[in-house]
Structure 1
Amino acid sequence: MSESPTLPDAAQRVADLLVGIGHDRPVVMLPATGKTSAEAAAGLGCTVAEIAKSIIFRRVEDDVPVLVIASGSNRVDEAKVAARVGALGKADAKFVREKTGYAIGGVCPIGHAVAPVMLLDQDLFQYDSVWAAAGHPHAVFNLTPQQLQAMTGAEVADVAQVTSA
């Protein structure tokens, strides 16, 4: 993992946004992909649960993007999300790129082309810090869950599927 002076364009855009809002931690590039929470966690030396993954859905009634920022160890319960924001549809790669400005695997919680409806997984708040995508599959940045909530304005919610042991 390295702080790179030459970031890919989308990651540089995120780095500039973070500086603009006074965030004091840099965008870092993973040596391997961080497309999945497990890959990102392995590259960062943290737990999968400390990855704040961005999942995009399409709200059926108006085609608005719905961004759920979930703990990497959780599966998102679409019924819980739909109960809060309305019926959900799948967001394909084209929809994700058009609405967020980012490719799947690098969707950052901020700086979207179209303002999404956002929910933030309450489970992230058990960690001192989490890692979020920074606009590129290899780019991430570190922040506290409180900072994530403040910079996104996302509603904190129970979005995790209940798993049976």
Structure 2
Amino acid sequence: MQNHPNVTAVRDALESAGATAEIVILDEAVHTAALAAAALGIEVGQIANSLIFDADGEPLLVLTSGAHRVDTAKVAVLLGVGKLKRATPEFVRRHTGQAIGGVAPLGHPKPVRTLIDVDLEQYPVVWAAAGVPQSVFPITYPELVRVTAGTPAPVA
């Protein structure tokens, strides 16, 4: 799995951004924040879920704490978009090159507008997917904001 093209793209993006995060390959795929937290022995809130939304036809990546759900109405108002809806698997793959369950916060074919849940800031380290459902990496909140060029926002 370390050599999977998506994992390689995430590793390359992390290195290009000067991040020191090491990608960890789990024994099994983890498709939910709860499963990822259990596999890592951490709080579910420390999982930075990468959720792609269709914002008036444009991709929006919301990195949200695994402890709660994105308030799409709130985010739509925040961004001034008319319609914000969960993206289809095809839309996600087209804009990230990755499948739902393994979407990383970076390593996409081109940059995706990104919001980062301010609730993640309370944790010294958060964990994000690294391109496939069994790969993750640890990162600090400030470094996550920096490497993604994301905008911190209240998303829940």
Same fold flag (TM > 0.5) = yes
2:138 counterpart SS class = strand
- The CA deviation at 1:116 is 2.0
Letter in 2 for 1:34: V
Letter in 1 for 2:30: G
Letter in 2 for 1:70: T
2:100 to 104, 107, 112: 104
- The CA deviation at 1:25 is 2.2
- The CA deviation at 1:9 is 1.9
Q: Deviations over 1:130-154 (max 9, x none)?
A: 0001000000011001100111111
Letter in 2 for 1:135: G
Q: Note if 1:24 corresponds to 2:25.
A: no
Distance 1:9 1:112 in 2: 11
The percent identity for this pair of structures is: 44
Distance 2:115 2:10 in 1: 20
Task: Answer with 1 or 2: which has the greater Rg.
Answer: 1
1:16 counterpart SS class = helix
Aligned residue-pair number:
154
Distance 1:131 1:107 in 2: 12
Aligned Cα RMSD in Å? 1.3
Larger relative contact order (C-alpha < 8 A, sep ≥ 6)? 2
Letter in 2 for 1:30: L
Distance 2:62 2:97 in 1: 16
Distance 2:59 2:144 in 1: 18
1:149 to 128, 135, 145: 145
Letter in 2 for 1:149: V
Specify the alignment match of 2:114 in structure 1.
Answer: 118
User: TM-score, structure 1 length as denominator?
Assistant: 0.88
Specify the alignment match of 2:63 in structure 1.
Answer: 69
Gaps of 5+ in 1: 161-165
Distance 2:10 2:150 in 1: 18
Distance 1:57 1:92 in 2: 8
2:24 counterpart SS class = strand
Contact persistence 1:65–1:114 (CA under 8 A)? no
Contact persistence 1:96–1:102 (CA under 8 A)? yes
